[in-house]
Every structure is written in structure tokens, then in C-alpha cells.
Structure 1
Amino acid sequence: MSESGTIRAGMGGWTFEPWDTSFYPDKLPKAKQLQYASRQVPTIEVNGTYYSSFKEPTFVKWASESPEGFVFSLKGNRFVTNRRVLGEAGESMMRFLGSGITALGEKLGPILWQFAPTKKFDADDLEAFLKLLPPRQDGVALRHAVEVRHASFAVPEFAALLRGYKVPVVYADHATYPAIADVTGDFVYARLQTGSDDNPDCYTPEALDAWVARAKAWAQGTEPSDLLRADPSQAAQSKPRDVFVYFITEGKVRAPHGAMAFMKRVG
């Protein structure tokens, strides 16, 4: 076993009009944007799968246009998570997982299940949802992560539930969403959402240095000492973990540059 997991940083999507001039080469056809973007960063989080349904040929196309070793993180469809009773999401979940996402093969990264900001912690309903998450689809291993956006989740019971099912909680560096840094799975997923278009690399150099240090701690199997956990009494098992970091939301114009500057610091 290696002494450290793999650290990957990217941005949300690859089509964003301001990037036509701030990121992409002049006169690059839009049809070539994924091909270019996937060679500047090692991963991209796909937000479109949250709002729309795609079919297998689309995933085949994405896989063919990206280089070997590239990883797509997919946001699970909103019909799965935007509901009062999460435990009733089985049919919608199977529809999404069976839509052709496994055509990405080894390029299929984590699936992000994002809950609505109004969704409060309910231990029984959350466990019913976690039980629905399959470890494989069409013979392809699946990695699931859960993003919560209500403060009621910042309790030890929440972390314990995720730890029992080995599902990571997404760490959100956000102005209002709860920041929960408990390591509850075999990989770590962080979304950096407090950047600024005024910073050439989305985050300041000092902030980038700090986040790279945290990512390296996660990758080596330890936990950053400066991030809050829902259950500080429980330390994560010390073992290498892959780390996924995405620059999104605030500072989106400079997000690709943030991811590239992050990876340069990773070395």
C-alpha cells in the first residue's frame, strides 16, 4: 500500500461563458472545451446530472474526450434527494444509476448526493437512504458521498451513521452551510465555495497553502487539526485515502485557475 492517497482538484463543469476568455485558449471551439479542460485538471464535478437526465452515449463521449486517469464526479439527480422521505428514493436512484453512468468505467469518480438546505437530520430516514446506496452498478464499483446543508446534521449521531456505512460527508467551505470534517469513509470530498473572482487563483495564496496541507493530511490518513468535526471523540482509522477537492460557487470565474494552482502546490 502506498503511503498516501491520490489528491485531485478540479472545478464544477467545463462550460461557463466567462471561461471562454478567462480560461480557454482564444477561438477554441466549444466542442473542444472538455478535451482541453480535462488536460488542465485531473477531475471535474458534473453538476448537469443533478438537473437533467443523460444517456449512455453522452458518458461514452465524455470518457473518450478525456485523458487516461481523469475522473468525473457526478452529482446525483435531484429527484433522488429533493424529497421529504429519503428512504423512498430507491426507484429514482436506480433510474439514475442505470442511465449509463458506468460507461465512464475507471473514469467514474464519486457520486455526490446533495440534500436540500431545508432537509433536517432524521437518523432513521438517513439510514434508510444509506441502505439504498449500492456498492456496484453494472459490475463497476461505486463511491458515494453525502452533502448536507442544514446545521442539524452537525451532531455525533450523523457522523456515526455515515461511518457505519463507510460513506463520506462532503466538507463544505461555505458561508452558511455546516462545515463537517469527520472522516467517515474511504475517501475525502471537499467543496471550496468561498473564493473570489478578485483572486487570480480563486483563493488567496495563503488559503491555497492551507487547503493543500489539509488535503495532504487526509491523503496520508490523518485529519486536519483546524477543522471542526461533528464528533471530535472519534478519530478516523489511519490509512491512505484519495482526496477530491472542487472549486465552485464563489469565485467561479477563477475556479479552473484555483484548481490548477492547487495541483501545482500538491506537486
Structure 2
Amino acid sequence: MATAHVGVSGWRYPSWRGDFYPHGLPQRLELTYAAERMTSIELNGSFYSLQRPSSYAAWRAAVPPGVTFAVKGGRFITHLRALREVETPLANFFASGVLALGRQLGPVLWQLPERATFDPARLAAFFELLPRSTAAAARLAARHDDKVADDRALTSCEVDVPVRHALEPRHESFDSDEARELCAAHGIALVVADSAGRWPVMRDATSDFRYVRLHGETELYASGYGDASLDRWADTCRAWIAEGHDVHVYFDNDARGHAPHDAVRLVRRLGLPTAE
């Protein structure tokens, strides 16, 4: 049965302390506190560097068993290599501990830089490399190089479950029928990105799930979402769920601390069960 997964992009922000997080809450408990009030968390540290299996295992252990994690793919793949010759970097990424999330692994997010234009051949080649199950990810992870030491690599999975992928392009050339058809042919969800008008908003379904990133309604990364906006997003989520699509929504308007409050308000509008 389709459902919604709602949370924040990252959780370790100093401005949240004493606001969303109570005064005196130990930093080691911040993820638990957030996850008890939401139903999903988007991991973004994985975008900046390869993590460790022990970190993924610790994050999983810190949240209720029903909470999922979306994992942001590495910028080495999307930004530095620009999706070219990335089979080994992909192996390193999946060997770095992603599989430690087990059944709580949600979609993998691939965010492209704003300068990246639509290149169908390059995208198709990248899509074909992406593992579509944890078993396939484990096989790919086994081909890692020495950037992930053998004693820090996880190349097996405790359970074989599907792995979904979402693409967040930030160039207007992706707002085309050709781009949508290519993503649909490979089952890749195009991210619905609300960015105060900065980047194109593409709402077409190109997979069996929807992935939404809310970067700020009127000011990028900074502004919050009012009641009317959250009501509209809740209605949209319900409509997508009625169509049989799982929905993943992550608030990235963290600069002034709005993200966690907005996420909790959307969770409540959707009536999602939490551990709070």
C-alpha cells in the first residue's frame, strides 16, 4: 500500500538547538529526536564524502524501525565526474555502508549541479549502471577500489529489497518531454523541487514513486511554508498516494530553522504515525 515518508534533509544544524531541539538535548540524540517526530530522514553527509558502515548502522539504530532513510549520492559522481566513467565511484559509494540501512533504505537521490544540461546519452549510460536491488548494489559494491578499504567496506546485504532512484536536475533543459521519457523508461523519479522559482518544477510521474524537496517557498533555503501551502502539499501527497505512488517529501529550508517545524506540520496533516 502506498504511503508518505516525510522528513528533513539533514538534522545537525546549530540553529535548531534550543528551538526545534530542546535546550540541553545531547547532540548524539538529535537524530532520534527528529526521527521520532517524522517518518523519514534524508542523509546528506553522503553527498560530501564517503561515509562508513559503522555510521550508517549507528544512524539506523538511532531511529524507530519504521523510519526510512533517503541517501544522497556523492557529489564526486554527480559534480566532479559529471556522471562520466562512474562505475567504480558508484561501487565505492555503495560499499561505504549504504547497505547497512537494510529495510530502512529509501530512495537514492542524485542531485545534479545547476550547470548540468540534459545529455540523453550520458544520462542513459548512468541510469543503466544504477543497481535496482540491494543484492545488485552488493554485487556492485564488491567492485570497489582502494578508496574504500576492505575492512571498511560493506559488500553484502541482510535482505534483498528494491532500490529506487530519484534525479534532481537544476537546468531548464530537463523540463522537456525527451527528459521525462528517458527517466520514465528507466524508472527514475524526477524530483519535484520547490525552490522559490530558482529551478524548474517538474511534476510529471516518471516512476512508481514521487520525490519532493522543499527548499523554501519564497526565499531559497530560508523561508518557511505557511498553513495554506502545507495544506496544498498535503492534498497533493494524498492524490499521489491514491494513484498508488509512494511519496517522499524532504524539507531543505534549514537556514532559519523552518525545516523541522514544517516537516512535523506536514506529518500531522497527513496523519502519519510517529514514535512521538
Question: TM-score, structure 2 length as denominator?
Answer: 0.84
Match for residue 188 of structure 1? 210
> Within 5 Å, which residues of 2 pair with 1:148-159?
148-159=169-180
Structure 2 letter corresponding to 1:159: R
Partner of 1:145: 166
Contact 2:194 2:217 in 1 (8 A): no
1:64 aligns to 2:68 (yes or no): no
After superposition, give the CA deviation of every residue in 1:117-151 in whole Å (9 maximum; x if it has no partner): 00000111111111111112234431111110000
Pairing 1:45-124 to 2, within 5 Å after superposition: 45-83=42-80, 85-124=82-121
2:232 to 210, 218, 229: 210
SS in 2 for 1:24: coil
Q: Is the 8 A contact 1:9 1:246 kept in 2?
A: yes
Residues 205-242 of structure 1 deviation map (CA, whole Å, 9 limit, x = unaligned): 00000011111111111xxxxxxxxxxxxxxxxxx111
User: Deviation of residue 252 (structure 1)?
Assistant: 4.7
Contact 2:53 2:98 in 1 (8 A): yes
- Deviation at residue 249 of structure 1 after TM alignment: 3.2
Q: 1:262 aligns with which of 254, 261, 266?
A: 266
Mapped pair 1:161 → 2:158: no
1:171 aligns with 2:192: yes
Q: Deviations over 1:178-209 (max 9, x none)?
A: 11111011110001112479xxx920100000
Aligned residues: 243
Give SS of 1:116's match: coil
In structure 2, relative to structure 1, the CA distance for the partners of 1:65 and 1:85 (3 Å cut) is closer
- Does the C-alpha gap of structure 1 residues 39 and 18 become closer, same or farther in structure 2, counting only changes over 3 Å? same
* Structure 2 portions without partners, runs of 5+: 139-159, 272-276
**Mean Cα deviation higher: 23-32 or 187-196:** 187-196
Query: Structure 2 matches for 1:4-43, cutoff 5 A?
Result: 5-43=2-40
Q: Aligned equivalents of 1:265 and 1:259: distance in 2? A: 10
SS at match of 1:158: helix
SS across alignment from 2:70: strand
1:84-120 Cα deviation digits (max 9, x unpaired) = 6524211111110111111111111111001110000
Measure the CA separation in 2 of the matches of 1:105 and 1:23.
29
Secondary structure of 2:230's counterpart equals helix
Amino acid of the structure 1 residue aligned with 2:47? Y
> Structure 2: which amino acid aligns with 1:28?
L
Give the superposition deviation at 1:43: 0.7
Q: Stretches of 4+ moved more than 6 A in 1?
A: none
The TM-score, its normalising length taken from structure 1, stands at: 0.87
Q: Report the RMSD for the aligned CA atoms in angstroms.
A: 1.7
